[in-house]
Amino acid sequence: MIEERKEKDDVQFDEARLREMLEAHEINAFRDEFLELHPYDQATFYEKVEPDIRKIIYSFLSPTEMADIFEAIEIDDDEYTAYLAEMDPSYGAEMLSHMYADDAADVLNELDTKQRESYLGMMDEETAEEINELLSYDEGTAGSIMTTEYVAIPENSTVRSAMAILRKEAPNAETIYYIFVVDEAHRLTGVISLRDLIIADEDTLIRSIMNERVVMVHAGDDQEEVAQIMKDYNFLATPVIDDKGELLGIITVDDIIDVIDEEASEDYSKLA
C-alpha cells in the first residue's frame, strides 16, 4: 500500500484547483497549469491524490511527460511498483523507456522476473539492452547506480568536433558538466569540463587540454565508497570503468544523494 506523503507548508501549487480540473475532465486547462509546475511539485501532487485521480492523470499526460514526474518522486523503490500497477502495461513500459536508464532499472529491479521481462519486451531492443545491462550488476555496487547516458568524446578530436558531439548527445545525457575522453578502445583517458571546452579554440585537440588525472571507480566498487569519494572531491559526476579501463557509465551527484539517504534510513532503522 502506498503511504500518503505528509503535508508541506511550502506547496507551490493550487491543489484544489488541479483536482477540480481533473474531476471535471478539463484536459487542456489541467495540462496548461500542471505542466508549468516544477517536476518536484508535479510529483508532490501526483503522490497526494487518490488512485482514481491518478488514473485520470495518466489519460491526460503522455508516457514521456509522466516519465519526468516518476523520476522526481521521492519514495522507497518498492513503492514505485504500486504506482506502476495502476497504469496500463503498455503505457508503463513506454514511460519507463523514456526515463533515464538507471532510474528505470531501479523500478524494474523491484518487480519479479516475469513482470520485468514483460515490460522489457514492450520496449525497443536498444533501450531494453541498456536497462538489462544495469540490472546485471549486484545491488549496492557502483555499476548498479550508474547511468549509461553520458557524453564521451574521442581524445584525437578537435574542440569543434567535440562540440558537435556534445550538441547531439546532450539532450539524452544525464549531465554535461563533465565530458569524458576515451581512446579508440573506449578506454577512459581524460576528462574536460564544459567550461574549458566552451572557451577553448575550435582547432585545439582535446587530448592537449583534457585533464589526464581522472578519479574513477570500478563497476564492482561499493556504492558507499563511491559516495565518500564524490563527497571528498566535491564531484558532480564520477566515471565508472571495467577491469580493462573501458568507460561503462557515470554516477551523478543525484544518484549519490539517493545512496546517502538510503544508508541514513538504514542506520536510523537499526537505532529504532
Instruction: Compute the Cα dihedral for 128, 130, 133, 137 and give only its sign.
Output: negative
Q: Which residues pair with 218 in a beta bridge?
A: 241
CA angle 242, 246, 248 (to 5 degrees): 70
Residue 202 binned pLDDT confidence (cut-offs 50, 70, 90) = very high
Q: What is the DSSP letter of 7?
A: P
Farthest CA pair distance, the chain: 61
Architecture of domain 152-258: Roll (3.10)
CATH topology of domain 15-136: MgtE N-terminal fold (1.25.60)
**Using one digit for the tens of pLDDT, what is the confidence trace for 54-79?**
999 999 999 999 999 999 887 766 67
Residue 163 has pLDDT above 80, yes or no: yes
Residue 262 binned pLDDT confidence (cut-offs 50, 70, 90) = low
Please, how many CA atoms are within 13 Å of residue 157, restricted to the half-sphere of its CB? 21
Nearest CA to 40 out of 14, 12, 60 is that of: 12
Instruction: Round to whole Å and give the CA distance between 68 and 98.
Output: 8
Between strands 188-193 and 178-182, the pairing is antiparallel
**Using one digit for the tens of pLDDT, what is the confidence trace for 88-122?**
999 999 999 999 999 999 899 989 999 999 999 99
**pLDDT, mean of residues 173-187:** 96
Q: What is the DSSP letter of 243?
A: T
pLDDT the model gives residue 48:
94
Among the residue ranges 8-22, 115-129, 172-186, 230-244, the one predicted with the least confidence is 8-22
Helix (H, G, I), strand (E, B) or coil at 23: helix
> For the CA atoms of the chain, what is the radius of gyration?
21
Q: Return the percentage of the chain with pLDDT > 90, whole number.
A: 82
Instruction: Round to whole Å and give the CA distance between 169 and 163.
Output: 10
Residue 54: Cβ within 10 Å count: 18
pLDDT the model gives residue 265:
58
pLDDT the model gives residue 4:
43
Q: Provide the residue ranges of all domains of the chain, joining segments of one domain with +.
A: 15-136, 152-258
Residue 11 binned pLDDT confidence (cut-offs 50, 70, 90) = low
Between strands 217-218 and 188-193, the pairing is unpaired
